[in-house]
């Protein structure tokens, strides 16, 4: 396989699964964590490596090192593997997803922005999601007729804060996730609920339905629920560990224990709560964007720029949502008819958000 984003949490877990099942790692792509990449190179002996910055090339213990966005695409093109695991963060993951699917490769996809931005232009038949929520939905559906799908949200760093305090929340406050440790961007997106909006869009493309919604389940034990046409509903319980969806994405089936079983008595009561727009303003556009999923490119571009502004203390926590919702209204009438137009819209939205 080819692994994009090898030094992040998904990448590290993917390599654990690869080692467990003796899956050869042909190529690794990493960002700036060269020390961890070198350790991975030593253990997995990839044929090709790519990194983010040319300046780091000499630090990499490998004879064949490519650099930058173009280097990643060249690496995919040169690879012989039929499977590409895309665990890159943000818009940067889109071009590799398109390159891999266009070459007829299977993509085990953890980069949700690929589908959010350009789901209409991606061959979904070549995508297997590495995501606990979408894996849970797939596991539950089992080709039975469903009426509605639900995914769950932890609620993020500020789920228990008084609303009045949230306007003064800092970037470091937003990174204090109550349930687990993730990268900066996804943790901020969890706090604003943008991450869950993106996952609804993913579900729309993956399962070809607009009948999707999300609920808060603070313990993160239930990841997904399927409501069937017969009136019954089933839930997917599993520990917070990405190795299970990764194993299924890489192998197709798993017939041995990857996780310990859920301790039903130990977990206590489970509660579902609504996602309220007062705490998560991005939720105001949930219904509209599910009807107009092509606008995902607008939300993603505006959101990435808003996170930068928040990190640099150029806006408040709620100011991020204000920026995204303003851009959403400004670009509400755009609709790309090609990947080239997606790229152009992305640039225009970023320019608008950074200049306002």
Distances (CA, A) of 87 to 56, 84, 96, 333: 21, 9, 10, 31
Per-residue pLDDT, averaged over 231-260, amounts to 91
pLDDT at res. 184 = 87
Cα 226 to the center of its chain, rounded Å? 21
Question: Residue with structure tokens 């979904």?
Answer: 124
Per-residue pLDDT, averaged over 33-59, amounts to 97
Sign of the dihedral defined by the CA atoms of residues 35, 41, 42, 44, in that order: positive
- Considering only CA atoms, which of 190, 218, 239, 197 is closest in space to residue 13? 239
Per-residue pLDDT, averaged over 121-135, amounts to 94
- Give residues with Cβ within 8 angstroms of 92, minimum separation 6: 69
pLDDT at res. 255 = 85
Average pLDDT score over the chain: 95
Entry pTM: 0.93
pLDDT at 356 > cutoff 90: no
- Considering only CA atoms, which of 60, 123, 108 is closest in space to residue 243? 108
Digit-coded pLDDT (tens) for 274-315: 999 999 999 999 999 999 999 999 999 999 999 999 999 999
Homologous superfamily assigned to 2-129: NAD(P)-binding Rossmann-like Domain (3.40.50.720)
pLDDT band at 113 (very low <50, low <70, confident <90, very high): very high
pLDDT over 90, % of the chain: 88
Per-residue pLDDT, averaged over 101-120, amounts to 96
CATH class of 133-241+273-355: mainly alpha
pLDDT at res. 181 = 67
pLDDT band at 143 (very low <50, low <70, confident <90, very high): confident
Q: Which residues of 286-308 are buried (b: 16+ CB within 10 A; e: fewer)?
A: beebbeebbbbbbbbbbbbbbbb
pLDDT at res. 180 = 66
**Do the Cβ atoms of 217 and 174 come closer than 8 Å?**
no
- Token pair, residue 143, equals 């080709």
**Do the Cβ atoms of 199 and 300 come closer than 8 Å?**
no
Sign of the dihedral defined by the CA atoms of residues 235, 240, 243, 245, in that order: positive
Digit-coded pLDDT (tens) for 182-206: 778 889 999 999 999 999 999 999 9
Length of the chain: 356
pLDDT at res. 195 = 95
**Do the Cβ atoms of 328 and 285 come closer than 8 Å?**
yes
φ/ψ region of 329 (left if φ > 0, alpha if ψ in -120 to 50, else beta) reads: alpha
For the chain, domain boundaries: 2-129, 133-241+273-355
């Amino acid at each position: 396989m080819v692994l994009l984003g090898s030094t992040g949490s998904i990448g590290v877990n993917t390599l654990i699964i690869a080692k467990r099942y003796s899956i050869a790692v042909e190529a690794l792509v990493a960002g700036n964590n060269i020390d961890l990449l070198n350790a991975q190179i030593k253990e997995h002996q990839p044929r090709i490596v790519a990194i983010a910055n040319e300046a780091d090339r000499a630090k990499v213990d490998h004879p064949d090192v490519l650099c930058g966005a173009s280097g990643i695409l060249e690496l995919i093109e040169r690879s012989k593997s039929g499977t590409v695991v895309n665990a890159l963060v943000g818009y940067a993951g889109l071009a590799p997803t398109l390159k891999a699917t266009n070459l007829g490769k299977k993509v085990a996809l953890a980069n949700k922005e690929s589908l959010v931005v350009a789901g209409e232009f991606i061959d979904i038949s070549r995508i297997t999601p590495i995501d606990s929520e979408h894996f849970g939905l797939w596991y539950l559906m089992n080709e039975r007729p469903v009426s509605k799908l639900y995914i769950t949200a932890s609620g993020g760093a500020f789920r228990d804060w008084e609303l009045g305090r949230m306007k003064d929340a800092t970037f470091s406050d937003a990174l204090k996730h109550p349930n687990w440790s993730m990268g900066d961007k996804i943790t901020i997106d969890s706090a604003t609920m943008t991450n869950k909006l993106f996952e609804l869009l993913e579900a729309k493309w993956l399962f070809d339905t607009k009948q999707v919604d999300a609920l808060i389940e603070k313990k993160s034990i239930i990841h997904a629920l399927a409501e069937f046409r017969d009136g019954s509903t089933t839930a997917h319980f599993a520990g917070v560990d990405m190795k299970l969806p990764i194993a299924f994405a890489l192998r197709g089936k798993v017939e041995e224990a990857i996780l310990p079983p859920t301790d039903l008595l130990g977990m206590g009561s489970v509660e579902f709560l609504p996602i309220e727009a007062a705490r998560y303003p991005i939720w105001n556009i949930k219904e509209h964007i599910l009807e107009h999923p092509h606008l995902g490119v607008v939300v993603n571009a505006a959101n990435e720029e808003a996170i930068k502004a928040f990190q640099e203390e150029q806006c408040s926590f709620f100011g991020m949502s204000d920026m995204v919702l303003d851009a959403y209204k400004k670009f509400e009438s755009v609709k790309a008819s090609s990947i080239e137009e997606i790229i152009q819209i992305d640039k225009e939205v970023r320019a608008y958000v950074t200049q306002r």
